[in-house]
Structure 1
C-alpha cells in the first residue's frame, strides 16, 4: 500500500506505519485481528514514520492527534497472540 495514499487519513497512516515497522501484525488466519508484537523500538519507529508523512496539502499531523491514534490502535490490538487462534475471549 503506497504511503502517499494513506497520508491524508490519520487512522490509515498510523496503521500503515505500525504494520511496516512490525510493531503490529495481522493474524495470518484472521486478517481482521491485529496483534501487538510488543517491540518498543518498532513502536517508536512507527511514531516517527507516521510523523514524517506529509498530507497532500503539504502539512504534517498534529502531535497530540498522532499520539492518540497510535495509543488507540496499540490498545485495540491483541497482545502477542491472536485470541481467535488461542481460543481466548475477545475484548
Structure 2
C-alpha cells in the first residue's frame, strides 16, 4: 500500500466530514459516526482512486483509518473533565 492511498483515503474522510481532528489535540482524529458521510467518503474515494487502486484495497484502508479514530469525542479532552 502506498502513502498516496493513505492520503487520498484520509482526504475523502475529512472532506465529507466523516472524521475530524480535535482542535486541541491535532494528533487525535475523531470519527463522527455519520453513516451518510462515511458512505459519501466511500463514493468519493471510488471516483478519485478507481483507476489507481482496487476496490477491496481501498475499503480495507478506509476501515483501518476509521478503526484508528476515536469514537465521537477526543479521549484526551475527556480525560481532563474527570
Using the size of structure 2 for normalisation, the TM-score is: 0.88
Question: Retained in 2: the 8 A contact 1:24–1:37?
Answer: yes
Uncovered stretches (5+) of structure 1, i.e. residues with no partner:
1-7
- Higher fraction of helix: 2
- Higher RCO (C-alpha 8 Å, min separation 6): 2
SS in 1 for 2:20: strand
Structure 2 regions of 5+ residues with no counterpart?
Answer: none
Q: Distance in 1 between matches of 2:49 and 2:59?
A: 16
Matched pairs, number? 78
Deviation of the 1:54 alpha carbon: 4.3
Q: SS of the counterpart of 2:23?
A: coil
1:85 and 2:77 equivalent?
yes
- After superposing on structure 2, the runs of 4+ consecutive aligned residues of structure 1 that deviate more than 3 Å are none
> Cα distance, 1:36 vs. partner?
0.1
What do residues 1-56 of structure 1 show as CA deviations (whole Å, max 9, x unaligned)? xxxxxxx811000000000000000000001100000000000000111111148x
Q: TM-score, normalised on structure 1? A: 0.80
Secondary structure of residue in 2 paired with 1:25: strand
Q: Please, what is the CA RMSD of the aligned residues?
A: 1.7
Rounded to whole Å, the distance in 1 between the matches of 2:53 and 2:46 is 6
CA–CA separation in structure 1 for the residues paired with 2:19 and 2:39: 12
